[in-house]
Amino acid sequence: MNGPNNSREILKTREKLKTREILKTREMLNTREILNTREILNTREILKTWETWKTCEISIAEPADAECIQKIFDDGDFEGGISVKFNREPDPYLSFQNDGEHVVLIIVRDTQKKEVFGLGGCVIRQEHVNGNLQNTAYLTGLKILKSYQRRINCIIPGYKLLEEKTAEYNPFYYTTILESNETAIKLLEKRRKNMPPYIYIGKYTVFCIGTGSKYTSPKTSNSGYGLKRGHSDAVSNFYKENLSKYNLSPKSELHYGLKNEDFYYLQLPDGEIIAACALWNQQSYKQYIISGYGGIYKFLSHIPTKLFGYPKMPKAGTPANYASIAALIIKDDDPILARLFLKMVLHEAKAYDFVMLGLFENHPLKDAALRFKHIKYQSRLYAVDYARNGDSSDCLDGRSIMLDELSIMLDEQPTKLDEQPIKLDGRPIKLDERPIKLDGRPIMLEVGLL
């Protein structure tokens, strides 16, 4: 009686085993096919890249390359609420030279097409690091023409050449990436064998603040201070006493192009200076061009936003009439004094559509800046660990960080400014607002150099 049943069970079991073997074999074959296909595709990509790279050369830029460099700056897409494009006309080569004591600028050229399609720079200057002057190196201007972005990877040889040409200065390397440039962030934050690690330090915010309205007019009746203009020995001594209190602060407050009349300060009756800064106009060699408006900003660009305390919206395609607040120092980081002083300076800056003030995330004066009506954009600050010490961020102690202008040089596309709630006549026009955060250190950044 059990014989037929056993035979059926045996046959059933054999069928199951055969089915499993068939499925397993199919899976193995499919996996092999997938792997083989991937290898073929990868090989094709490698060969394609190699064929392209064989016709390319990387070298140090020369003055004669200015026109080619300008074409790279002109390349880009235009999208977002407010799209801002950074430019260095009329001569980008000379513009870079104004940024530091030594500048290494590299280009990548397609020798077959005789076209420059890649750019990168490193600005060497003396800055304060943990209270001492030392060489620093700011990596900037890393750009590639859109038509080459997926055809060739010139990043690794570019970084190697920059290291080779700047190693003699033994600098502290650092850089910034725009918060909106997600592609660059993912690419450079990932640890790679032949690339220096990017060590995240924190966020840097640039506030674009309107000028010359009732919202920025100081109430002189209760100030008790007198705003003075000009540079003097007393102003110089004030900076000598205070610049070393900040990390990455410049050796001197006298940046390229600044004149005596560009400085403003508050002085007590006994002669003590308690606040100082400079209004830095770099439009002759650095421009911010509004590429276009989208969303609610397209509507706002047609109304007089300056009357309501916000920056004046420049006509699309035209350079912004702006200045940067540089070398801002307030005694004891007093936020009330800072707001009063900034109001006075903004009133003096009424000839500009707006001024740009850059502050590191937890800078003691951040709250004072936030109280002004503004539009902002954010960047991420990194130490670049060429020495591969594991974590270069601990090279900086707990001092506030001061950076005299970080602009949008690392973005391959125009910047998208953060969209924020704007009120006209007390009625809010609702847009996005993004929070700011950082670690426990006070940090100070400015706008004006790169």
Instruction: Classify 437 in phi/psi space as left (phi over 0), alpha (psi -120 to 50) or beta.
Output: beta
Q: What is the pLDDT of residue 176?
A: 93
CATH class of 56-450: alpha beta
pLDDT class for 219, splitting at 50, 70, 90?
Answer: low
Q: What is the pLDDT of residues 245-290, one digit of tens each?
A: 999 999 999 999 999 999 999 999 889 999 999 999 999 999 989 8
Q: What is the pLDDT of residue 221?
A: 46
Residue 220's CB is within 10 A of a number of other CB atoms, namely 14
- Residue carrying the six token digits 């391959």: 412
**pTM, rounded to two decimals:** 0.78
CA distances from 45 to 27, 48, 51, 117, 147 (A): 27, 5, 10, 20, 16
- Decide if pLDDT at 9 tops 60: yes
Q: What is the pLDDT of residues 45-59, one digit of tens each?
A: 444 444 455 678 899
Structure tokens at 375: 């539009």
Region 389-397 average pLDDT: 69
User: Is residue 239 within 8 Å of residue 246, measured between CB atoms?
Assistant: no
Structure tokens at 291: 């590429």
Choose between 30 and 316: higher pLDDT: 316
Pick from 110, 106, 128: which is nearest to 119 by CA? 106
Strands in 198-210's sheet, in edge-to-edge order, are: 56-60, 102-110, 115-129, 132-144, 172-178, 374-384, 198-210, 354-360, 322-330, 273-280, 263-267, 226-229
Least confident span in 78-82, 106-110, 269-273, 353-357:
78-82
